[in-house]
């Protein structure tokens, strides 16, 4: 039974155990009505002589002495209930039974332990007797055993002397183990940070790769757009140039045709002029004839014109009108030619400006893409340098931990 348990016994059990152990002969009635007037044992008269009036302190001294003894016994049993002086002066039935059960349980527990250890003690005593007999029969062996015991004592003394050094070494070993644990934790933290940096560098590499791919795709698309726009511009320029050349060829042909028409008109004009000169001569001859007949038909000639004069006048008017129409047609053709050349020049300049602006945009985009690529490469190189630096630091820390944890 463990001493930390206090099963409350019945009154009959308490009475039986006290009677069996020859401690006291009481009845259940004494337990039901405990009486404080009991024999408290002999007094120590030498202690009473130290008081001024020992006769007045006889009962109190007995009471205090018994109270202290009971309190010590219950404290050794680690009783959960606290024993007070009231339990001794005015005992209660339940508390008395509880304290008696605790003391008797402790006694029974102690007796059981002693009964369990008694054979072992007897065996040890028997072995000591055998050892003494053996030493008496073999004195040399006994002397050798004494030497061995002396050496053991010397070793024990040396061990006690070296114990402070061993304690110092143990303290240093503990400190080194704590240092190694701290360094291991630091190394684990560095490894975790290294993993994070590695993941970040991987993410940065992915971002750089995606940025480069995106930049290359944009550059490719811009090149294709530029090529297409350049092709479209060149095609439009070629078309407009072909139209301008066509207009030029048409203008040259029309100008040539106009020259030919002008030459024909000049020839016709010369022929008509010659014809007019001939008709002038004829008119002069007719006028001479008319002067002869003027006397007869003077009145009639004043109001009637000859048929040849009317023909000459009508021919002159028709020639003058045709020359003016040709001049107006030539001027109109020249004006149309100038307008078409001006439109073609404007279109060509617009196309040229558009091609130049697109070329500048493409150059600016190419510069931006190159800047992004350069920046991505620099970021990647800096990340790789940081990773290498962390690797070197972790290797140095691992080496330091290795050398500190396992000194030579």
Where on the phi/psi map is residue 78: left (φ > 0), alpha (ψ -120 to 50), or beta? left
The pair of structure tokens assigned to 30 is: 């004494």
One-character DSSP codes across 25-85: ---HHHHHS--S--------HHHHTTSS-GGGGHHHHHHHHHHHHHHHHHHHTT-SSPP-T
pLDDT in tens, the chain (408 residues): 344 455 677 667 777 777 776 676 676 666 656 665 544 444 444 544 444 555 554 566 667 777 788 788 777 777 777 777 777 777 777 777 777 777 778 777 888 888 888 898 889 888 888 878 877 777 777 677 788 888 888 888 988 888 898 889 889 999 999 999 888 898 888 888 888 888 888 888 888 788 888 878 887 887 787 777 777 777 777 777 777 677 677 767 776 776 777 778 678 777 767 776 776 677 677 677 767 766 655 444 444 444 445 455 555 555 555 556 667 777 777 787 778 778 767 876 777 787 777 778 777 877 877 777 777 777 777 777 777 777 777 677 766 655 554 444
pLDDT at residue 389 in the model: 78
- CA pair distance 303, 323, nearest whole angstrom: 32
Nearest to 218 by CA among 377, 374, 373, 376: 373
pLDDT at residue 405 in the model: 47
The model scores a pTM over 0.75: no
**Rounded to an integer, what is the distance from CA 123 to the centroid of its chain?**
74
pLDDT at residue 25 in the model: 66
Q: How far is CA 11 from CA 26, 94, 153, 312, in A?
A: 10, 10, 56, 182
Q: Where are the domains of the chain?
A: 11-137, 200-282+306-405
Write down the architecture of domain 11-137 according to CATH: Orthogonal Bundle (1.10)
pLDDT at residue 27 in the model: 65
Where on the phi/psi map is residue 316: left (φ > 0), alpha (ψ -120 to 50), or beta? alpha
37-69: b or e for each residue (b if 16 or more CB lie within 10 Å)? eeebeeeeeeeeeeeeeeeebeeebbbeeebee
- CA pair distance 248, 250, nearest whole angstrom: 5
């Amino acid at each position: 039974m463990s001493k930390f348990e206090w099963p409350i016994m019945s009154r009959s059990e308490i009475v039986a155990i006290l009677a069996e152990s020859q401690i006291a002969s009481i009845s259940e009635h004494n337990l039901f009505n405990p009486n404080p007037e009991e024999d408290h044992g002999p007094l120590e008269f030498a202690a009473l002589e130290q008081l001024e009036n020992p006769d007045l302190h006889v009962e109190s001294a007995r009471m205090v002495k018994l109270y202290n003894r009971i309190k010590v016994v219950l404290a050794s049993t680690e009783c959960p209930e606290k024993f007070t002086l009231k339990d001794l002066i005015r005992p209660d039935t339940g508390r008395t039974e509880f304290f008696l059960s605790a003391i008797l349980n402790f006694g029974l527990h102690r007796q059981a332990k002693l009964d369990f250890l008694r054979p072992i003690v007897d065996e040890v005593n028997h072995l000591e007797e055998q050892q003494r007999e053996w030493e008496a029969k073999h004195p040399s062996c006994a002397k050798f055993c004494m030497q061995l015991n002396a050496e053991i004592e010397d070793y024990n003394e040396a061990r006690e002397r070296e114990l402070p050094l061993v304690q110092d070494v143990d303290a240093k070993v503990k400190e080194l183990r704590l240092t190694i644990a701290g360094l291991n934790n630091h190394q684990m933290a560095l490894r975790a940070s290294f993993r994070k940096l590695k993941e970040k560098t991987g993410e940065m590499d992915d971002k750089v790769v995606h940025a480069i791919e995106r930049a290359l795709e944009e550059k490719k698309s811009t090149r294709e757009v530029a090529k297409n726009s350049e092709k479209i511009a060149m095609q439009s320029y070629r078309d407009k140039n072909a139209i301008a050349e066509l207009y030029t060829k048409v203008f040259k042909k029309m100008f040539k045709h106009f020259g030919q028409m002008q030459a024909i008109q000049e020839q016709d004009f010369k022929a008509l002029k010659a014809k007019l000169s001939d008709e002038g001569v004829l008119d002069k001859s007719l006028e001479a004839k008319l002067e002869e007949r003027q006397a007869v038909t003077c009145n009639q000639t004043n109001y009637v014109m000859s048929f040849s004069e009317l023909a000459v006048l009508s021919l002159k008017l028709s020639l003058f009108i045709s020359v003016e129409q040709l001049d107006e047609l030539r001027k109109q053709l020249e004006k149309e030619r100038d307008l078409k050349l001006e439109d073609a020049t404007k279109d060509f300049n617009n196309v040229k400006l558009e091609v130049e602006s697109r070329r500048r945009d493409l150059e600016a985009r190419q510069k931006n893409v190159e800047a992004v690529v350069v920046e991505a490469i620099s970021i990647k190189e800096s990340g790789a340098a940081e990773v290498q630096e962390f690797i070197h630091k972790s290797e140095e820390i691992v080496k330091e931990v290795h050398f500190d944890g396992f000194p030579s």
